[in-house]
Amino acid sequence: MSLDAKAIHLTGDEPGNNFTMAFGGEPGLAARRVGKFLGLLRSSTGWRELQVQTPVATYCKAYFDCDKNRRQARQELIGRR
């Protein structure tokens, strides 16, 4: 899977801290992209190790989880009331 820079939006603080990676497109398409991306992280032998380049041209491991951001979780909670 190749990731088009226009289809992904990263937000977060300095490298080494948590960040949010949001996939673009219609909600259904974005959800499928997330599912496909997370599925590709797991291989038959275990989890793949991804490394990303930092602004100072070094590499570090990237860890991904499908947690929802605070805004989305709050909207869903308000919608249940």
Residues 2-60: tens digit of each pLDDT: 666 677 777 776 656 677 778 888 888 888 888 888 888 888 888 888 887 777 888 88
Residues paired with residue 69 on neighbouring β-strands, in sequence order: none
How many domains are there within the chain?
1
SS3 state at 21: strand
Which domain, by its residues, includes 26? 5-80
Q: Is residue 77's pLDDT more than 60? A: yes
Q: What is the pLDDT of residue 14?
A: 66
Distance CA 23, CA 14 (A): 20
What residue type is assigned to position 62 of the chain? A
Contact 33, 7 (CB under 8 A): yes
Residues paired with residue 61 on neighbouring β-strands, in sequence order: 51
Contact 22, 66 (CB under 8 A): no
Query: Half-sphere exposure (CA, 13 Å, Cβ side) for 25?
Result: 13
